[in-house]
Amino acid sequence: MQTQLLPCPLFIGGEWIHSKLSGTPVHNPSTGEVIAQCPAGGKDEVNAAVEAAAAAFPNWWETPAVERVRVLFKFKALLEENFEELIRLNTREHGKTLGESRGDVKRGIEMIEFACGVPSMLMGESMENLARGIDCETVRQPLGVCVGITPFNFPAMVPLWMYPIALACGNTFVLKPSEKVPLTAIRIVELLQKAGLPKGVLNIVHGGRDCVDALLSHPKVKAISFVGSTPIARYIFEVGTKNGKRVQSNGGAKNYIFIMPDADVENSTRGLIEAAYGCAGERCMAGSTAVVIGDARTTVLPSILDAARAIKIGPTDREKQPDMGPVITRQHRDRVVELIAAGAKEGAKVTVDGRSTRASDAPDGFFVGPTVLDDVQTGMTVAREEIFGPVLNVMRFADLDAAIEMANRSPYGNGASIFTRSGKAAREFKHRVKAGMVGVNIGVPASMAWFPFNGWGDSFFGDLHMQGKEGVQFFTQQKVTMNRWFSYGEGDIWQR
């Protein structure tokens, strides 16, 4: 019996549009079954969505900021009321465990909490008598139509990085969720519509490169937010800025977790395993490389290997939950397996091998088991490329200085962490390491909503990061006004 496909409509001008365009199958990664078809829109669909957003912008801008965020307060309440439904939908289309989906949705709700406080950050500055008889003031105003292009790995959180702040600042928005996981984004926007968002203020389009290129070139689009792989992030930045858009573009990463000889074995093992294998390694903050320093190879590394072997994988779309679920598609599973083989061919030791792992109760799911590659060297393919799967590289160094020098040669700069009891080592590490987000005894140093998601190097293209005050600055532009007023018949004040 064929599973009935879930609807995957566009949302334009406040109306849900069920397109007959052919597109991309949406899978349940736990079983391999197709659960929806995501239509592949292009220039026409993008133009309709952008025009709807442009038409809605004047009224939304003139809506007082406190009234705009009242919609977001209602939206937050609706997400909390429908929390369990959302996490199960998230898990079904992505493959995360239910616990990981809870984190995905919860972090998205935190972004709405932050956006509800945006009015206080829109306040400008003023100075009386900047010059004789002249006052100066600043205000922050919205840009207009903004766009979000989001990845598959966080169907709830990443879109919510973008449009709550954009809307609170007075912009209108066009969202293009990943064609691999559109259903969670659609359901969340249904709840935003129920919260009372006016028609056209937020719109959804679907599609691949044609859809993205139409968004990048549309003359009425003022700003673009993107999260995805580094090659595409660079392309989005270059094409978007060439077309006069403001762009913030998050790319991929190779994140290093340093394990010092004095590290607490239990806590460092738990932190590293969660960083490497959480969400099946499919996140830009994954701790994909363990940098084992000195005697940590004997004090901590054996514990890490035992913990990786103990991870239970399986389908996540049922009540009994595994430790780790599948990867997103069959094609991605095959790529991860190929990269593991490339590492072995180039000399890495496969000490934990997940290539042949399958779930007995879901034989068609897209599973790769936890894998550890030991003695990885800097020139290897697995050391250079982002694997985006449940693979942990182990690199060995004699001392902290050499390890930091190695990490700083990476073109990426998303995250780096150190596990140690030494304040001196921690201080040296956080001062010298070239990464925008640093953790001390924390495996995943991803910042929360109130601080920027702060990638460096090839992990970020742009000037203003997502989240926090930088997010508000990105979605607004500052206006400076100089004021001088004369009394009737007063004449030139300079002649006094």
Nearest to 171 by CA among 227, 109, 118: 118
Known active-site residue 284: yes
| Catalytic pick among 169, 211, 279, 284 | 284
* HEC-encoded secondary structure of the chain: CCCCCECCCEEECCEEECCCCCEEEEECCCCCCEEEEEECCCHHHHHHHHHHHHHHHHHHHHCCHHHHHHHHHHHHHHHHHCHHHHHHHHHHHHCCCHHHHHHHHHHHHHHHHHHCCHHHHCCCCEEEEEECCEEEEEEEEECCEEEEECCCCCCCHHHHHHHHHHHHCCCEEEEECCCCCHHHHHHHHHHHHHCCCCCCCEEECCCCHHHHHHHHHCCCEEEEEEECCHHHHHHHHHHHHHCCCEEEEECCCCCEEEECCCCCHHHHHHHHHHHHHHHHHCCCCCCCEEEEECCHHHHCHHHHHHHHHHCCECCCCCCCCCCECCCCCHHHHHHHHHHHHHHHHCCCEEEECCCCCCECCECCCCCCCCEEEECCCCCCHHHHCCCCCCEEEEEEECCHHHHHHHHHCCCEECEEEEECCCHHHHHHHHHHCCCCEEEECCCCCCCCCCCCECCEECCEECCCCECHHHHHHHCEEEEEEEEECCCCCCCCHHHC
The residues assigned a catalytic role are: 284
